[in-house]
A and B are shown apart, each in its own frame.
Chain A
C-alpha cells in the first residue's frame, strides 16, 4: 500500500463522517462546539451557510449524518446531530442582519425559479445577494413546497418555516404565489437568462386494484391528502384508517389521521420490518402514538358494500430470506379482510412534467425523468437547470439544498458564459489545535454518556391539536450532555513520519487500538496485520511514509479513532499532532471571490 496522500482534501473530509455523509457537507463538529460554548447564533450561521434551513432541518432532516456518526460505532448510538441543529435554531439571537442581505444594485441577470421548495429557495439564497434578479413561481398560495404541503405542522411549525423562507425572500427575491407555470416554452421565451426547475415530485402513486373506483370517496393519495390538510381543505377523516405503504409519508399520514378524528389507525406493510423505508425515528414516533404497523400484508382489493368502502382485503405474505437478508422466495399463505372507513395510499411519488413541451430540447428518460448532468444540474438544453426531487426523483430536503447550491454555481457560470464544469475544487486547511503542553483548543476528554431522549408533548394534548409541535426541544441539561458526546472528528490526527522514533507510545495509549507500526504490505494483508484487524472496509487506513529506523510504516485505522489526542500528548517528538481541519466546500460566492482575486 502506498503512503496516504493527506493533501487530497477528501481524505480528512471523509474522516469527519457526519460532514462527509451530509449532502450539503455541513461542518457538524464545528457547530456542535459553538453550541457547547453557548454561541448559538454563530452555530446557526455556520449551519445556514451549508444547509440554508437549520430550524427546519433541525426538526425534519433525513439525517444521513447520524447513521454515519463515529459515535455509533464506538458505543451504541450516534450523537443527536439533528436535535443539536435545532438547539442552535431555537436559542439563537436575531439573525436578520447577519444573513446575506439584499444588494444595493442588481446585475441585470434574470433568473426564473419554478416551485418555491427547498431547491429553488436555495438557488435564490445563493444568487440574490450577488445581484441576480430571482423570481420564484409557486402554484400554491404559500411558499415552502413539500415542506409546507407534506410535512405536518406538528413536526414542523409554520412559524419556523415562514421565518427561514423570509430570510431568503428579504434578499430581494420576488415570489409569485398562485402562479402555476403551464408552459416552459412560454416562460423561457420571456427574457430570463436562466431557468431553474425545482418543482419536486408532486404526483402520488395510485393503486389500481379491484374496488378502487367505486370507493374513490374514501381513498386518498397520501401527499395530496396531506397537502389538503395543510391548506385546510380537509379537517376530518373516518374512525378506522388504513395507511398503505411504510415510508416517511405513511408515517405523516397515520399521525395526521389520529389528529383528524381517527382512533384506529393501521399501517399496512407488504414486507417485514427490515425492509421499511421510513426512518427508524419516524416509525418510533408513530408507534409511540399507538399506530399499529402490520407486516406481510399485500393489498388485494378494496371491499365495497352499497357503494361505500367497508374494508380492504390483503394477501398474507410469507418470505424466504437468504443469509444476507435478501428475499429469495415469496408465498401467499392466505387472505384477510380488515375493516376500515378510509384508506390512504402512501406508496411513493413520481415526477410529473406535463407543462414541459417535449420539443424544446429537454430530453427525458424512459421513466419521464429529465436527463440532468449530475455535477452541473443542467438539462440537455443550455440555461435550463433542474434540482431537488424534480432532478433525479424523490430524495429529501437536504439533497434539494445541495442541488440548489450546485445549480446556483452553474447558473452563475452560465450567465458569465464560462465553462460550467470548471468549478472550484474542495480544499482543506489544517491548523494545529495545540495551545500548550497537553492543552488543546477543543474539549478532548471523552464522556461515556448515552444519547439524550427528546422530550415530547403529552399524548392527549398533542392528538387534540394538529398544529401542536410534538417534540419540545432539548433541555439545558440535555444540551450540555449531548454536545460533549461529539468526538470532534474534524480535529484530525496528523502524522509527520520523519519525526517518529518508534517508541510505541501512541500505540500503547490509544484507547481504541487504532494505531500500529507494521511492515508495509498490500491493503488486504495490512488490514489483518494491525493490532486490531481493520475489518470495516468503508473506513480508510492512513499509511505513513516508511519510518527512518526500521522502514516499517505507521498505520492508523480511521474506524474508531476518538480524536482524543492522547497519541499526540504521549508523542515525545510531536510526530503526532491534532490539527483542526477546515473543509472548504465552495459555494457560488466563493466562485465570484475567486474571479475578484484574479
Chain B
C-alpha cells in the first residue's frame, strides 16, 4: 500500500485517437506488495490498451482469485469487469462471451487459479477457443497464502526457507499447445518492450490468446535458489523471436519487410511483424514450439516471445454459430417472443 493515490497529471502526455492519455487507462491504486511483478503487468496492459485506442467501455475484465486476479481493479477503471470464484473465471468469461461477443475480454489469472483449482476450466476454455486475452501471471508460489509452491514451481527451485520443490511443474504454454491454442506466448514482467506488443497482438487475435508472464513474487519467491526471481529470470531470459504489432495496416512502413520480418495479418486488419533472432525460430510451427519448450528444461534458458500463432482456427462464436448481435442489442420483442412462441417451442419436446 502506498500512502496516497497516484496524482492525476497528464498535461505532459500524448493523447490517443480517443483523446485519452495513458493515465485514463489506469484504475485504483494497487494493494499488492511493493515490487510485485503483477503491477508491472498491469502497467503494460494500461500502455497496450492506450496504444490500441481501446475504448474502456468496450472491454470486460474477468478474473478469479489470487494476487493476480486482484489486479483487474488496477487498470481500466472505466471498463466492465467481474472478479469471480476461484478457478472459475473461464466459465464466467464463456457465458459473457456468448451473450456479448462484441466486447474485448481480458482474463487475468495466476498459476494457482489456472493450473491447480482451475486447471480444468483453463483447458476447456482453450479447447473451445474462447475469444479472449488470457494473462497468466506466473510466480511459482501461492503468494496470497504465504508462499507455498504452486503447480508451476520448477523442479528443484528453492522455497524462501531453503526447501527444494520435488514435483514436476505444469508448463501452461506446453499445455496450451497440446490443447490446440492458436496464440501462445511467454513473457516477463521486467521486459515491457516484449510484453506490450504481445498484449496488443493477443487482444487482437480472434480466439484464445495465452500469455504466460513470469511475474516474480517479491515477498515469497525472489531469493537466491528460486527459478522465478527477478535475478534468475534476467539471467536466463532468452527471447526467441521479436514481435511488433501495428494496429492499423495503413500505418505500416516498409522498414519491417526490409529486415526480413514475417508479416501476419490479424482478423481486424492489424498486422503482426515477427523478426527472427539467431535461433531461427518460426512461431507458425507447432511441433517446433512444443519441442523447444520441452528441450528448454535441460538448458535452463527461459524461452520467451510469441511461441505459436495460428489465426485460422474458428473461435467459440463461429464454431457454435452464435448470433452476431449481442443479446443486449436484440430488440425486446425478439428476445422474449411471448407465451405462444414458448408453447410452440415446448411442443417440439413433447
Contact = CB atoms under 8 A, between A and B. Distances in A.
A501 B2 contact: no
Contacts of A566: 2, 4, 6
Given A501-B230, A504-B43, A513-B13, A564 B4 contact: yes
B2 A503 contact: no
Given A438-B1, A504-B40, A504-B189, A562 B7 contact: yes
A92 B2 CA distance: 36
A448 B9 CA distance: 9
B7 A503 contact: no
Interface stretch (A192-200, A306-314, A390-398, A570-578): A570-578
A508 B39 contact: yes
Interface string A548-587: 0110000000001010111001111100000000000000
Contacts of B39: 504-505, 508-509, 570
B192 interface: yes
B64 to A, nearest CB: 23
Contacts of A545: none
A532 interface: yes
A236 to B, nearest CB: 50
Contact of A75 (B11, B13, B230, B234): B11
A445 B7 CA distance: 8
A446 interface: yes
Given A504-B40, A573-B35, A549 B2 contact: no
A174 interface: no
B34 A505 contact: yes
Interface in A55-104: 74-75
A512 B35 contact: no
Contacts of B40: 503-505, 508
Nearest to B2: A569
Interface in A271-317: none
Dominant SS among interface residues on chain A: loop
Interface in A430-450: 438-440, 444-446, 448
B12 interface: yes
Nearest to B235: A549
B3 A74 contact: no
Interface in B213-253: 216, 218, 222, 230-231, 234-235
Nearest to B216: A503
Q: Report, as a range, how many residues of chain B touch the other chain.
A: 20 to 34
Dominant SS among interface residues on chain B: loop
A446 B43 CA distance: 21
B33 interface: yes
A502 B40 CA distance: 11
A507 interface: yes
Nearest to B233: A549
B194 to A, nearest CB: 13
A571 B36 CA distance: 10
A569 B4 CA distance: 10
Contacts of B189: 503-504
Given A503-B37, A503-B218, A508-B42, 9 more contacts: A444-B4, A505-B35, A508-B43, A509-B6, A532-B12, A549-B230, A565-B3, A569-B34, A570-B39
30 contacts: A74-B9, A438-B2, A438-B3, A439-B3, A440-B3, A445-B3, A445-B4, A446-B4, A501-B35, A501-B230, A502-B190, A502-B234, A503-B35, A503-B36, A504-B40, A504-B192, A505-B35, A507-B43, A532-B12, A549-B230, A550-B234, A560-B9, A560-B12, A562-B9, A566-B2, A566-B4, A570-B35, A571-B34, A572-B34, A572-B218
- The 10 A-B residue pairs with the shortest CB-CB distance, nearest first, are A572-B35, A446-B7, A508-B43, A549-B234, A438-B3, A504-B40, A503-B35, A501-B230, A569-B2, A511-B7
